[in-house]
Structure formats: structure tokens, C-alpha cells
Amino acid sequence: MTRILPHPILTIALTLFWLILQQSASVGNLILGLAIGLSAGLATRSLGLDKPKMGKPWKAVELVFVVLADIVRSNAAVAWVILTHGNSPRVAGFLRVPLKLRDHTALAFLSIILTATPGTVWLEFDEEAGELLLHVLDLVDEEQWIDLITKRYERRLLEIFA
């Protein structure tokens, strides 16, 4: 099983991508999509990536909605900062966030979340100290930002990738 399907999620996702791209779920396209997904999965195996350990993957649904709501909110917030403080944001600054996350897939998802919500930019992650360096555009309250990242995103990611 693992010989043919080293990365089952990648294979399924690529097959789905192919079907959506072709806008048809015909047998021919399904076979072609599966061929692409399988060969990409095999090619990825030689990269030697560690497999994500799934804990409660269904918790991802909740996380998606939380993040979508935050994207709307932070878009409005950043647009407001640009409109009202045209030249220099008043309280932009660096922020260090201590993280418990170590799983690389989970960290990748956290970076996607932080990038997708405007107002926070991921600068670097110190794996030894478990500390994330961010730049925040509207750094009024440091504690509030740390709470947002650890309690809203990190806690859920820890549950998903247990």
C-alpha cells in the first residue's frame, strides 16, 4: 500500500485538481487524473518528506471557518490602516510568539493562515527555541496577538495534527 501510495492525500488532491481543471468527471479523465496523482505521489516519495500525523482531521472544518472570518476582519483592518495612516502605520512592530507546534505540516498550515490574514507576516521560525518571529502591522496589544495565534490557530492545529 505505502509502496504504490506513499502520499495518499497528495494523490487524491491532485486527482481532484485534475477533474476540476478539466471540468468533467468522465472515466477517461478519472484515469488520467489518477495516473498523474499516483506518479506525483511516487515522485514525491524520493524527497523523503515526513508524513503528517493526523489526530482529528475533522477539526479542520472549524478552523477553516475561523480563518475565513479572520480574513474578512483583517482585510478590513489593514485597508483601514492604509486609508488612515497613509505613510507610516502607527504601531507596526515585531512580535515573538512562543509555539508548541513542531510538526512541519502543521507549521506550513500556520504560515498559510498567517499569510492569508493580512496584517501579519511570518518572518522566521526558530525550531530550537520554538519561537516564531512575526511582523504585525497594527501591534496595539502584544498579548492579544499572541493569544490570537496560540488559542485560535495553534490549539486547533495541535488537535488536527496530534
Partner 1 sequence: MNAIPLWGAIAFAILIVGGAGLTLLGCIGLARFNAFYARIHGPTLGTSFGMVGIIFASALYFTLAEGRPVMHEILIAAFVVITTPVTLMLLSRAALHRDRSEGAPDVPAPRRRIAAREPQPDTKI
* Rounded Cα–Cα distance for residues 1 and 73 (Å): 44
Q: How far is the CB of 115 from partner 1 (least distance, A)?
A: 4
How many other C-beta atoms lie within 10 A of the C-beta of residue 69?
12
What single-letter DSSP state applies at residue 143?
Answer: H
Q: Toward partner 1, which CB reaches closer, 42 or 71? A: 71
Q: Are 115 and 122 in contact (CB under 8 A)?
A: yes
CA dihedral 29, 34, 39, 41 (to 10 degrees): 140
74-82 own/partner pairs: CB under 8 Å, 24+ apart:
74/117, 74/118, 74/119, 74/120, 75/118, 77/118, 77/119, 77/138, 78/118, 78/119, 78/137, 78/138, 81/119, 81/137, 81/138
As given in the structure block, the three cell numbers for residue 115 are: 499569510
6/74 with CB nearer partner 1: 74
Instruction: Find the shortest distance in angstroms from Cβ 133 to partner 1.
Output: 6
Residue for grid cell 508548541: 100
Positions that interact with partner 1 (CB under 8 A): 17, 20-21, 23, 71-72, 75, 78-79, 81-83, 86-89, 92, 94, 96, 108, 111-112, 114-119, 121-124, 126, 128-129, 131, 133, 135, 137
Whichever of 41 and 117 has its CB closer to partner 1, that residue is 117
CB of 101 to partner 1, least distance (A): 15
Toward partner 1, which CB reaches closer, 128 or 143? 128
Q: Judged by CB, which is closer to partner 1: 4, or 21?
A: 21
Beta carbon of residue 162, minimum distance to partner 1 (angstroms, whole number): 23
* Shortest distance, position 1 Cβ to partner 1, whole Å: 27
